[in-house]
Structure 1
C-alpha cells in the first residue's frame, strides 16, 4: 500500500547561503554563451536548448474523475487546452546533430486560469522536461561549474566536438552496460543519438502540485511513437538529421503522449532539494492525469517555427502558484531564464510574449 502523499508547506524548501551570488554568476556565464552565439549567427538564440528539432501544436486533455490527490492545480478541472511542444537539445549553440546531447521537450499549455506565480504573464502553464529522470547537478553551484565548462566550448570548431562526441558515446555505452549512468558525459556529447519523438521526458526537478509535491513525465503511447523509442538516427553528412527525421515522421502520423505525475510520499526518499536523487517508482509511481494529442502535421512549419522560436519563451516560472517550482535548481532558473529571454528580445528587437 502506498504511503500518503506529502503535504506541501513552504518549509519543504531550504534556501542555502550564497544562492544569490551563484545566480549572478550563472547569468554572467550565460552572457558569455549568448554574446558569443549572437555574434556568430548575427541573431540571438536561447542560452540553453538553442536548437529546435520540431515544433508541434495540439491539445492537452485533462482527465475527468481524477482522485483528490491528483485533481490539483490546473489538473483539478477536466477539459481541453491548446498546447505547443518544442523538441530540442540542450546546448546554447546550434550544433551539427552528429554531436549527440540529451533531448529536451518544452510544453506551453494555453488558457490556464488561477492564481499566477509572481511576474508570470498571460494565462499559460509551462513545463520543461529532459529525457532523463534526474538533473545533472545537485545544486545551482555545482551546475555553474558544468556551465562554465560548456561556455568554454561554445565557439570551438565543430570537428573537434564531433570527434569528442563519438568518443563519449562509446564511454557512455560502456558505462551503461555495467549499470553506471553519467549525466556529465551525456551532457558533454555522450548521449545516445536517439529520435526525440520516441523518448520519455521528465521534469527532473520537483514542483508544488496543489496540496502536494510532484515531478512530471511525458510518455509516448501512440504506437508510431513507441516504435521510435530508442531509435538511433544516422547523422552522417546530415547536420539537421534530427529535424529531418522528426518532420518525416510527424507528417505521416498522429502523436499521443500521456501526462503523468509522481507524488512525493516521503521527503527523505523523494527530496525537494536534491535533484540528483531519483524518486523510485516502486515507492512513488507515476500516474496519468491527462493526454497530449497532435494531428499529423509539418513539425517545421515556417509560421509556427517563427512564432514559437522567436516570440515565445519557456520557463518553469511561467504558470500557476499551485505548480510553483521547488528546490535550489528551480530557484536559480527563475532569474536566469528571464535573463536569457530579455537578451534575445533586446538583441533581435522582437517582442517576446505569451500567446493570447
Structure 2
C-alpha cells in the first residue's frame, strides 16, 4: 500500500508538469522539425482507427464523433470593433452566414462525461483561403481550453495507443502525465451545448502586418438556462437544442485572447493554459441561432457530409503551432476518406 501511495503521489505531483519547450519570441512558431514524418504516421494511424470504427454504411469522424445538430445562424461582427482587431473577416458590422456543428468528442451517450465540440463554418468571408473552398472560414473549438496533447509527437503517441486498444498506455508514460488533469477536468457532463463555452485550444494569427497570435473562445451571451428537459435519455442534448430554440434564440459571443507573454502563453504547447488574468478574452462578434428544424434524414446527412479544417482560413487567420501544422494534411486526408466511404453508401 505504501508503494502504491508513493507512486500515486508522484503521479499527481508530476501531472501538472508541462513539457519543456524552447522559449520563442511573441507571435513566432517553432521550426517544426520532423513533422512531415509525424503527419504521415498520424494519417496512417487515424486511417486504421477510422476503418476499425466504420460500419457497412457509415464511418464516423475520428474525433467529435456524435452530431447533436447543425444549426444555421448569423455571425455578426461588432459595429464598434476596435481598430487593433480589424483584420481579415473581422470588420465593423460585417455579417456572415454560419453553420455550427455541435458534437460529443468520443461518447455516443449524452449522459456520460465527455469533451464537447463546436465547429463553425462561415461563408462569404474575404481573402484567399490557405486551404479549401474560397469564401469559407472554419473555426474548431472544444469545451475545455487546453488540449491534452502538447505537441504533434504526443498526439501521435495517443493515437497509436488508441489504435492498439490501450489508450491508458499514453497516460502512464511519465512524459505524458501532464495530460491526466486535462482529461479528468475536461471530460464533463453538460445540460445543454447551447449553454456551454468553447475554446480553440490552439493559437492563430491575427492580421499579416504584425506577428500577433490569438486564441478564440465562444461563450453563451448569458440568457436564462432552459429547464424541463429529460436528461435520462442518451440523446437528450439534441432534444434540448430543439427545446431551447422553441423558447428563445441561442446567442454566443465570439472573442479573442491576445498573446502577451510567450513564456506564459506559448504557441508550440497546445496543452498550456493561457490564463485570462494575463490576457482576457475580447469580444469581437455575436453568433445567433433562431428557431429552426434540426431533425430529419436530409439535415443529418448534410451535417455528416460537412468537413472542417482550421486551415480553411485566409492568411489573416493562419493557424499557428505544431498541432495546427499537422492538422492541415491529417484533417484533409481523413475527411476525404470518411466522405468517400459515406457518400458511396448513402441511398443503398
Q: Indicate whether the TM-score tops 0.5.
A: yes
| Worse-matched range after superposition: 319-328 or 71-80 | 71-80
| Residue matched to 2:319 | 325
- CA separation in 2, counterparts of 1:48 and 1:61? 28
Change (3 A) 1:193 1:221: closer
Distance 1:84 1:268, change over 3 A: same
Distance 1:181 1:285, change over 3 A: farther
Q: How does 1:294-305 map to 2 (within 5 A)?
A: 294-305=289-300
Deviation at 1:298, TM superposition (A): 2.7
> SS of 2:287's equivalent?
strand
Distance 1:41 1:245 in 2: 30
1:297 Cα shift? 2.1
Secondary structure of residue in 1 paired with 2:84:
coil
Task: Report deviation, 1:218.
Answer: 0.5
Match of 1:167 in 2: none
Q: How far has the Cα of 1:77 moved from its partner?
A: 4.8
Deviations 1:229-281 (A, max 9, x none): xx998654x33222222222223220111111111112222211111111111
User: For residues 224-235 of structure 1, what are the structure 2 equivalents within 5 Å?
Assistant: 224=224, 227=225
1:62 is displaced (CA, Å) by: 0.7
Give the aligned partner of residue 165 of structure 1: none
2:43 match: 27
Mapped to 1, the partners of 2:245 and 2:56 lie a distance apart of: 28
Q: Partner of 1:174 in structure 2?
A: none
Which of these residues, 118, 140, 152, is aligned with residue 128 of structure 1? 140
Number of aligned positions between the proteins: 307
Give the Cα–Cα distance (whole angstroms) in 2 for the partners of residues 234 and 244 of structure 1: 9
Give the conservation status (yes or no) of the 8 Å contact 1:126–1:314.
yes
1:196–1:242: 8 Å Cα contact kept in structure 2?
A: yes
Q: In the alignment, is the contact (CA less than 8 A) between 1:55 and 1:300 conserved in 2?
A: no
Query: 1:220 maps to which residue?
Result: 220
Q: What TM-score comes out, normalization by structure 2 length? A: 0.80
Specify which of 193, 201, 209 is matched with residue 206 of structure 2: 209
RMSD over aligned CA atoms reads 2.7
Q: Give the aligned partner of residue 169 of structure 1.
A: none
Match for 1:102 among 108, 115, 132? 115
Which of residues 30, 53, 61 is equivalent to 1:14? Answer: 30
- Structure 2, unmatched stretches of 5+, are 1-24, 168-178
Find the aligned partners of 1:106 and 1:268 in 2 and give their Cα distance: 29
CA deviations over 1:188-232 (Å, ceiling 9, x no partner) = xx53344211111010100001132100000101413xx26xx99
- Which deviates more from structure 2 when the two are superposed, residues 297-306 or residues 265-274? 297-306
Q: Distance in 2 between matches of 1:350 and 1:75?
A: 38
Q: Residue 153 of structure 1: CA displacement?
A: 4.8
Give the Å deviation of 1:140: 1.4
Does 2:59 match 1:44? yes
Once the two structures are superposed, residues 123-147 of structure 1 have per-residue CA deviations (whole angstroms, 9 ceiling, x without a partner) of 1110000011111111011122222
TM-score w.r.t. the length of structure 1 is: 0.79
| Unmatched 5+ stretches in structure 1 | 1-5, 157-179, 352-356
Q: What residue number does 2:129 align with?
A: 116
> Match of 1:184?
183
